[in-house]
Amino acid sequence: MIEPIDLHAFADGELNSVDRTELQAKLDASPDAVRELESIRNLKALLKRQAQEVETRESWKHCVGRLDEIDKARRVESVVGRFAPALCGLFLFTILVGGLVARRHGETSGPKEYVSRLLPFRSSSESKQDKDEAEWLTHLFNQVRQSRIHTFHVLKVNGYIADGIPVTRMSLRDDKGDLLVLLLPKSVDFGELTPMAGHPEYTSGQYGQTNCVARSNGASTTVLLADRPFDELADAMTDIPDSFVTITSHRPVK
């Protein structure tokens, strides 16, 4: 007795050599099984021979198009993926450097701009100011005249607000010429001014063509500008008492 399933396996070449030999022996004694085997083989041959060819050209083109899209996406992913750490690093580095540059730039140029804002010399007497401020300036003027800075002749005292800071401006004159004094009731670190040789408590530099020396005591800042050497400005600075700055800090501000 031959199992039909074995005949199919025989026709398909899926029997091992032992089973194949055994089945072959059985086939010799079974004409019906031989006929069945022949029919299986004929059907297999028919299918192989007559199965219709399928037109694939257009469909294959679409497939190639899809593969191109995948490759394109992979290339983008690959570039982004490969350089992602570098891009992130570069981005962070740019932010960091930008920040440092901005900070550095801010340190050098910010105060310079700040100085420029301090120097419009817009007289309070010329601009609108309230009665309190006018009185205070008169008081200040009298204080200055009565102070110990006998070496100076006080030409004018006025005040204005620069960048939210009340600035008191005094025009002084001594035997070497005119000076301009700016008094600020807070400590300001001017980036464009550098520590002065021989006078570590002072910073010096130039504003435009004018030499400038500044002194900050933590609570107030005095800036001295004049067309004279730094050493002479430093000497002049010593003649401006701290109490003088203290007076300016009491300026009424609205």
Partner 1 sequence: MLFGKRDMRESFERQAEKIFPSVLGTALRLTRSREDAEDLAQEAIVRAYDAFERFDGTNFKAWMLRIVTNLYINKYRQRQRGPQFGSLEEEGAIEPVSSEYELPDRLLFDHVVGAEIEDALGRVPEDFRMAVILSDIEGLSYQEIADATSVPIGTVRSRLARGRSMLRRSLETYAIKEGYIKKDAVE
Q: Contact residues for partner 1 (CB under 8 A)?
A: 4-5, 8-9, 12, 14, 35-36, 38-40, 42-44, 46-48, 50-54, 56, 59-60, 62-64, 66-67, 70-71, 74, 78
> Least CB distance from residue 49 to partner 1, whole Å?
9
Instruction: Indicate the residue among 43 and 92 with the shorter CB distance to partner 1.
Output: 43
> Least CB distance from residue 6 to partner 1, whole Å?
9
Contacts of 80 (CB under 8 A, 6+ apart): 87
> Least CB distance from residue 114 to partner 1, whole Å?
54
Angle, in degrees to the nearest 10, between helices 4-11 and 17-28:
120
> Least CB distance from residue 24 to partner 1, whole Å?
18
Instruction: Indicate the residue among 73 and 197 with the shorter CB distance to partner 1.
Output: 73
Instruction: Indicate the residue among 44 and 105 with the shorter CB distance to partner 1.
Output: 44
Instruction: Indicate the residue among 17 and 52 with the shorter CB distance to partner 1.
Output: 52
> Least CB distance from residue 22 to partner 1, whole Å?
17
Q: What is the DSSP string of 149-167?
A: -TT-EEEEEEEEEETTEEE
Burial status of residue 231 (CB atoms within 10 A of its CB: 0-12, 13-18, 19 or more): middle
Distance CA 183, CA 154 (A): 14
Instruction: Indicate the residue among 25 and 47 with the shorter CB distance to partner 1.
Output: 47
**Secondary structure class of 140 (helix, strand, coil):** helix
CB count, 10 Å around CB of 191? 20
Distance CA 113, CA 56 (A): 75
